Chain A
């Protein structure tokens, strides 16, 4: 750090301003108000040691525990030497590319193309499907590559959006402990009663009631992005984007060999932007699967933070676990006991002769509330129907176990 000489308030303000910009580039949301706050805070605390200066800025700029790491790096780099801001931005965020380096097609480009050449597109789409089929093998190594899956066609988006708008999850509303005005409620609403009686000058007292309020429970989606699922992930992500758009509390996690929280990335308004942001944040695309390890990470790091208030967990995976040991059953049990309702969506169920023989599937099945198929991967409408289907036989996980036993 360069301790600004006393009286050089202008330099200090400037430094803090640049530092705030560096933080913003690193992904910490820092508003202009925070810069003013920081200046006030530094003036209040005085600049004593480097440590005090560090924690003073930390107090103002950091609003989330996970931002501490970013802040720490930025602080070290920024205040070691001046003029490092550009390098700092380049080293801290791999997804920030210098302008001109981006040779991939822009996410929205595909949709414009679709609009212009609607007919020509069909052939190409089929071609792409066959390309994807070649990827069905589970690679043993973690494939540390970024796969651009933001190129969804306009027709697909339209179909998905359309289908999802018609979607009704059967277990939607949960009762909360909050009360709301209710015609046949069980608690008298004195506040409203009195106000209403004042209307008539207090002559008549018309009793008003309160009843329990219902609200949509949070949804937590755990999406397997390993090689064997690669045909479905793009579709599922679009589905999750639409769900996130429509409801407030949706958390999305992707897992292959490691767990990634993409909740923030997926909230972008435009599906293209959202999916591009998601793919930028994931490193283990189309690699192997470690379901047990990923679930363990989720249980440990996130379960307590996102599974409160009666959450529904949607687990998208084929259950083909690479590490075959008992931990999978243990972690599934833990997950099942931490949430209100656990739904397993398994694309393998589209095969008519599916039987729960694989070890991973047998380990997971006893711990889910519902086991649902996703028959047709080309059609999101089918996925939605699967989500709200009421067929007991396909839903009850125990039926699948009995069938094999």
Chain B
């Protein structure tokens, strides 16, 4: 195809009314951010609230890194829910390319259009080309969707597990994250009128390039403290017995101090709490722990390491610790 002159950037938001954004505006302070998250049962610590507040305020993407199951993805869901924005999720995988992440042309439709134009004998080549590379035949994928205006305000764009893609895709994201724009050769540059709220997560199975991180605010999401984890368990599993929840949290916290290949995350704690409350357990005992260990630990080596004796001694430790605290 011939080189086409670059057109002026298309501003997708120009024609639409943009007054409704004020309805769910971003929080005004760090405390307001904490409250907002707590309203949706997401109990963040102050450092996370600070960085989230800044990301919203400064219009920067937020890059969250941390072990699996500490609630990175959940933040995007909670944000979209509390701010009433649309959640657009781009799950990354190896081999993710532009046609799956940004846009694709509707080839079947284009073929028909070409055939029709031929059959009618109308239109010259320029005209056909212009027609088939238009908005009508453009299939929008998550990144392009996120740049479109939304009546509820700019959407939340979740780019999940970025470490699963390759470097080539990362490089592509640079344009999107720095200027909130996408360039389609046949159409020109599409720029978002209102930049989306971008949350990027990574499990750190490889290092993300500094060039991309530089454009984001970075935060490492760690395991919560015992008090906060207890609050999370009680908020998410409301029907759990009081003593059981305390024991669960302290047992998991003790487990994280052990030399394990993969320590259990908050998601595992919640799964375990749900499982035990479904089993109508009121207090932890070695047999129950051993039977349900598969909910917490996902590696055979780790499970083998925690034999009956080890579970019992760990449990005794936790109980002694709790008695001492009373």
Contacts and interface: CB of A to CB of B under 8 A. Distances in A.
Interface in A131-162: none
5 contacts: A29-B210, A55-B51, A178-B95, A215-B166, A309-B94
B97 to A, nearest CB: 6
Nearest to A37: B58
Identify which of A46, A198, A299, A334 gathers the most chain B CB atoms within 10 Å of its CB: A198
A65 B94 contact: no
B223 interface: no
A212 to B, nearest CB: 9
Contact of A62 (B46, B111, B118, B218): B218
Contact of B54 (A45, A48, A190): A45
Interface string B30-69: 1000000000000000110011011101101001010000
A100 B110 CA distance: 72
A44 B9 CA distance: 30
A190 B58 contact: no
Interface residues of A, number: 48
B261 interface: yes
B205 A304 contact: yes
Interface string B75-105: 0000000000000000001110101000011
A58 B95 contact: no
Given A44-B58, A195-B1, A51 B94 contact: no
Interface in A333-384: 334
Given A31-B214, A308-B163, A299 B261 contact: yes
A41 to B, nearest CB: 5
Identify which of B1, B50, B107, B219 gathers the most chain A CB atoms within 10 Å of its CB: B50
Contact of A202 (B53, B55, B114, B214): B114
A281 to B, nearest CB: 17
A62 B216 CA distance: 10
Contacts of B7: none
B50 A178 contact: no
B217 interface: yes
A193 to B, nearest CB: 8
Contact of B105 (A46, A51, A52, A194): A194
Contact of B99 (A55, A191, A201): A191
Interface string A169-194: 00000001111000000000011011
B129 interface: yes
Interface in A105-122: none
Given A64-B218, A199-B1, A59 B94 contact: no
Given A63-B210, A65-B65, A194 B110 contact: yes
A45 B166 contact: no
Contacts of B94: 176-178, 309
A59 B54 contact: yes
Interface string B129-169: 10000000000000000000000000000000001001110
A45 B30 contact: yes
B207 interface: yes
B218 A194 contact: no
Given A45-B57, A63-B213, A191-B107, 9 more contacts: A41-B54, A56-B50, A59-B51, A62-B218, A63-B210, A178-B166, A179-B97, A197-B114, A305-B205
B205 A52 contact: no
B129 A198 contact: yes
A269 B203 CA distance: 30
Contacts, number: 113
B206 interface: yes
A176 B97 CA distance: 12
B30 A300 contact: no
Contacts of A194: 105, 107, 110-111
Interface string A38-76: 001100111010011001101110111100100000000
A175 to B, nearest CB: 10
Ranked 9 nearest A-B pairs via Cβ: A177-B95, A55-B50, A59-B51, A190-B107, A63-B213, A308-B205, A44-B57, A202-B114, A65-B220
B301 interface: yes
A60 B207 contact: no
Contact of B219 (A59, A179, A299): A59
Given A63-B210, A201-B125, A44 B54 contact: yes
Contacts of B1: 195, 198-199
A41 B218 contact: no
B134 to A, nearest CB: 14
A77 interface: no
B204 interface: yes
B174 interface: no
B110 A308 contact: no
A306 interface: yes
Nearest to B221: A65
A59 B206 contact: no
Interface string A295-316: 0000110001110110000000
A45 B51 CA distance: 10
B4 to A, nearest CB: 11
